[in-house]
A and B are shown apart, each in its own frame.
Chain A
Amino acid sequence: MNLFVRLYKVILPQAFPLMLPPLSGVYVIIIKSTAVLSVVGITELTRQAEVSILRFPKDILFIYGLAAAIYFAYCYPVLKLADWLERRTTTTRTS
């Protein structure tokens, strides 16, 4: 077996259940870290919320709450999906 066959048939099936939990955690961290991009002018969610606050300055908390709700609505299913995949791969391995 060459390297890639070994990777595909042996190593990856064993490594996938191990790397799922940290991968999902890191992915959620990346999602939250995209807020830093607002500093360099990329109009992502936090930047759009800041721009919207300029239009509605009295509703700061409400607009940031909406942004937080959108972040949550994105991150929570990702974690649930990772949980489900982890359980599925684990049960597949044990059965």
Chain B
Amino acid sequence: MQLDHYLTTASAVLPFLLAGFFETFIVSFIGGFLGSILGALIGIIRSRKPRVVTVLLGLYIHVSCSALCFLFRHTALRHQGAAMVFLHRRMRCARVLHFELYCRNCSSGHQRRPFRSGRGRNRVRHEPLCSIV
């Protein structure tokens, strides 16, 4: 009885769901394809190191990181530890800004100084890293 009910519902609903799935497939495919091409183009352009584009992209990364940082620190998103770690890692890699970030493990802020190791030609400067990253 219950199984019949579910089968009837599924047969009535599935065509619409499959139509929706087709739409999802198209949108995700176009999004992934165009996003990949855009990323590849930006990478190729940045590898040529044109001054104007580099400055514009740096400004974009700066502004987007600032906005994300503001969101994570002053809105309900501040409890999202994983997102903070993601942002943290991105900003470490980008080396664009040095915000006072905090994540789940280092809640007191993240302003450790860089340190050096080795001697002579082997002397290396280590960037400060969060214990999670």
Cβ–Cβ contact B21 & A51, under 8 A = no
Taken together as a complex, chains A and B put the C-alpha atoms of A54 and B117 apart, in Å, by 65
Question: A3, A47, A59: which contacts B9 (Cβ < 8 A)?
Answer: A59
Interface stretch (choices B31-39, B76-84, B89-97, B108-116) = B31-39
A-B contact count (CB 8 A): 72
Is A84 located at the chain interface by the 8 A CB criterion?
no
B16 to chain A, nearest CB (A): 5
* Interface membership of chain B positions 112-127, coded 1 if the CB is closer than 8 angstroms to chain A and 0 otherwise: 0000000000000000
Chain B residues within 8 Å of A30, by CB? 28, 31-32, 35
Is A76 located at the chain interface by the 8 A CB criterion?
no
Instruction: Give me the interface of B with A, judged by CB distance under 8 Å.
Output: 6, 9-10, 12-14, 16-21, 23-25, 27-28, 31-32, 35-36, 44
